Chains A and B, each alone.
Chain A
Amino acid sequence: MVTRSTDTETAGGDVLWRERLFTTLQRRGAVVVLILVVAVSAVAFDNFLTAQNLENIVLQGAFLGLIVVGMTFVIISGGIDLSVGSMLALGGVLAAQTVEIFWPLALILPPLVCSLIGLGNGFLIARARMAPFIVTLAGLLGIRGLALALANEKPIGIDGGSPFTWFGQGQILGVAVPIIFVVVAFVVGGLVLARTGYGRIVFAVGGSEESARLMGLPVDRTKVIAYTVSGALAGLSGALLAARLSAGDPNAGLAWELDAISAVVVGGTLLTGGAGSMSGSLAGVLLLSILQNLINQVGTLGSYAQQLVSGVFLIIVVVAQAYLTRRGTY
């Protein structure tokens, strides 16, 4: 890697100031873009800033948001979790299957089972030193197969009268329950990441695993916890989505791991690990959600254009990031 630190030293304050601006833009770019997009949309579309539409946007992003909180920890620690979409499906199926036995089980069992799977992922990655990409790719395939097998490849309905559905469809003080879950997850996740020792260690491990190990930091434990949390949140998201839809669908969350990674990357977290923020990831999720909402509002754009726009948007963001951080490449 070639860094421009020497330029900074020789060229004096002016360059230093620009460096700082670029770094800030790269780290907080998603928040800046989010504000811009909201401002432009508010002017361009009459019914964009209505309470109903805003709630739609947030609710649309809530289930992905829960996954993104876990993914942020994993990616900052230098790893990746491709198994989250499949775990969401497994969580939904488990919820639908247990809700009739005893409804609180439907809320507790999915995060529990998925956190155990995450624990397994983390153990294979940290202790057996296997590549995160491969371990969780196997998870993606295997857990989806498991979810499909458990559900006989068909969505399982949940009785609409069950108290469990309140967790997907109910409201507290006019705010949808899943939104409350995701807000709590982002606040707690953000505090843990930025204000606790565990958070610092996650950054250290992602920055340089060897250095972290040599400093005597509990590298293995840190990684295992990150994957466990990622699993638990994916399972919880699956349970809440099942409650919202009144069904546990084994095909739910298909390719959501890619959306979650996009959201995290758009939020300014580097895939190489060691840098990033929870607020950026939140902005990333909201941006993806708003993008979808705007495409629906324009109406003339088909659902195919939506994919194209998402892909182009992702590229613009990462190219901008690449230029702003100006990482030296050969």
Chain B
Amino acid sequence: MTPMNRAASVSESLDRSAVASWVRGRGVYVAFVALLIFNLIITPNFASVATFSNLLIQVSPIVLVSLGVALAIGTEGIDLSVGSVMALASAFLPLYLGYGWPVALFVALLVGAVAGLVNGSLVAFVGVQPIIATLAMLVGGRGLAQIFASGQLLIVSDPAVLALGQGRLFGIPAPVIVAVVAVLVVGFLVNRTTFGRYVVAIGGNRSASYLSGHPVRRTLLLVYIISGLLAALAGIVATARLGASDPSNIGILIELSAITAVVVGGTPLSGGRVRILGTVMGALLIQLISTTFIANDLPFTWAQVFTAAIILVAVYLQKGRGAA
């Protein structure tokens, strides 16, 4: 091999590894755009405002809970309880509407914060593993929600609350606005504050973080409280969209979608990194997969199989960065 050839081949392999690592980091964007283009060509009536508006409205609750789950995963934890916290917030909302909608919304958010406080205390102070602490909340939380609602569906007709799910501002659906604001706030917290640095440091190495004098327990507590708040917000939006509080069904299995969105979006389960935009993209990708299958009259169950394959491929690709 001549030196020239060798140089060429080296630069070529450099190119290839650069492309590979770019795809690894941005795989979720590539997949989303590819699926979008596929839909624009194949799916009838896909390129309409209504389609995209629906996609964004449907993905809003998933985005909200995914943000909290992303924070928890960033600390090398997890929050399985988000769906049940949604149900709890949804159950409490109509009970306090008699005192006016601000009180009802406040109570619903408070319930989410308290659930997060319980999760966070167990994780930060008692030393229970996050998966178990939030598993107990997943099981018990929904039971509690159903007890408070007597297992019934309660109609919510307060116009101010309904506006959160069905209203529009400058033509943009309210749930989308709520989700975008939440993404901006959490993105700011993660990327621009010391709290965000602590989250990543704890996920990277909890002992080292503690020995560096970081407020580990306070940060963990705060992470689970924020996750609880976001889940409660998602519960409020979902309730408003439905026009009813339905604690038996609201947010069921959403923790799986959220974990999928976070992981596909490039946040490693081993913690130490949080990708907010990737998480949003991950959520959009999952929703787009469902939309694609439904819009083309394909059996929805195969969408699940397809999503599973996406998860495996995404995580396999990320593995190269020591992230799996």
Contacts of B132 in A (CB 8 A): 261, 265, 271, 314, 318
By the criterion CB–CB under 8 Å, are A258 and B142 in contact? no
A318 to B207, CA, bound (A): 22
In the complex, the answer to whether B126 meets A140 with C-beta atoms within 8 Å is no
Q: Which residues of B contact A307 (CB under 8 A)?
A: 139-140, 142-143, 146
Q: Interface readout for A142-173 with B: 1 if CB under 8 Å, 0 if not? A: 11111011000100000000000000000000
Of all chain B residues, which has the CB nearest A271?
B129
Q: Do A134 and B137 touch across chains, with their CB atoms under 8 A apart?
A: no
Query: Smallest Cβ distance from B186 to chain A, in angstroms?
Result: 22
Q: Give a binary string over A175-216; 1 marks a CB under 8 Å from any B CB, 0 the rest.
A: 000000000000000000000000000000000000000000
Q: Is B324 part of the binding interface, using a Cβ–Cβ cutoff of 8 Å?
A: yes
- Chain A residue contacts of B209, Cβ below 8 A: 330
Known contacts: A130-B319, A134-B311, A311-B143. The answer to whether A272 contacts B129 by CB under 8 A is: yes
Q: Which of A133, A304, A308, A314 has the most CB of B within 10 A?
A: A304
CB distance from A92 to the nearest CB of B (A): 16
* Contact indicator per residue, chain A 128-145, by CB within 8 Å of chain B (1) or not (0): 111101110111111111
- Taking the nearest CB of chain B, how far is it from the CB of A254, in angstroms? 9
Do the beta carbons of B308 and A315 come within 8 Å of each other?
Answer: no
Question: What's the minimum C-beta distance from B280 to chain A, rounded to whole angstroms?
Answer: 19
Enumerate B133-157 residues with CB–CB distance to A below 8 Å: 133, 135-144, 146-147, 151
Do A329 and B127 touch (CB < 8 A)? yes
CA distance A290 to B324 in the complex (A): 39
Residues of A within 8 A of B140 (CB): 307-308, 310-312, 314-315
Which of B139, B216, B217 counts the most A-chain CB atoms under 10 A from its CB?
B139
Near B by CB (< 8 A), chain A positions 301-324 give 302, 304-312, 314-315, 318-319, 322-323
Closest B-chain residue to A2, C-beta based? B207
Which residue on A lies nearest to B149, using beta carbons? Answer: A304
Instruction: State which of B26-34, B53-61, B299-307 sits at the interface with chain A.
Output: B299-307
Closest chain B CB from A252 CB (angstroms): 15
Q: Are B128 and A319 in contact (CB under 8 A)?
A: yes
Which among B129, B206, B301 is the interface contact of A148 at CB below 8 angstroms? B301
Are A142 and B308 touching (Cβ within 8 A)?
A: yes
Task: State which residues 15-30 of B face A: CB under 8 Å.
Answer: none
In the complex, A138→B308 CA distance in Å?
4
**Main SS of the interface on chain B?**
helix
Chain B residue with Cβ nearest A134 = B315
Are A135 and B270 closer than 8 Å at their CB atoms?
no
**Within the complex, which residue of A80, A135, A261, A302 is in contact with B312, where a contact is CB–CB below 8 Å?**
A135
**Nearest Cβ in chain A — how far from B215, in angstroms?**
10
A262 at the interface (CB under 8 A from B): yes
A116 / chain B contacts, CB cutoff of 8 Å: none
B127 and A327 form a contact (CB under 8 A): yes
CA distance A310 to B305 in the complex (A): 31
CB contacts under 8 Å to B, within A263-312, are 265, 271-272, 302, 304-312
B289: shortest Cβ distance to chain A, in Å? 11
Q: Is A124 an interface residue (CB 8 A)?
A: yes
B269 at the interface (CB under 8 A from A): yes
**B139 pairs with A311, CB closer than 8 A:** yes
Residues on A with C-beta less than 8 A from B210 are 330
Complex formed: what's the CA distance from A319 to B127 in Å?
A: 8
Q: List A contacts of B151 (CB < 8 A).
A: 302, 304
Q: Which residues of B contact A (CB under 8 A)?
A: 78, 122, 124-129, 131-133, 135-144, 146-147, 151, 206-207, 209-210, 216-217, 256, 259-260, 263, 269-270, 299, 301-305, 307-309, 311-312, 315-316, 319, 324
A-B contact pairs, 24 of them (CB 8 A): A80-B131, A131-B270, A133-B78, A137-B256, A138-B312, A141-B304, A142-B304, A142-B309, A146-B305, A149-B301, A149-B305, A271-B131, A302-B147, A304-B147, A305-B147, A310-B139, A311-B138, A311-B143, A314-B140, A318-B122, A318-B128, A327-B127, A328-B127, A329-B125
Chain A interfacial positions (CB closer than 8 Å to B): 80, 124, 128-131, 133-135, 137-146, 148-149, 153, 258, 261-262, 265, 271-272, 302, 304-312, 314-315, 318-319, 322-323, 327-330
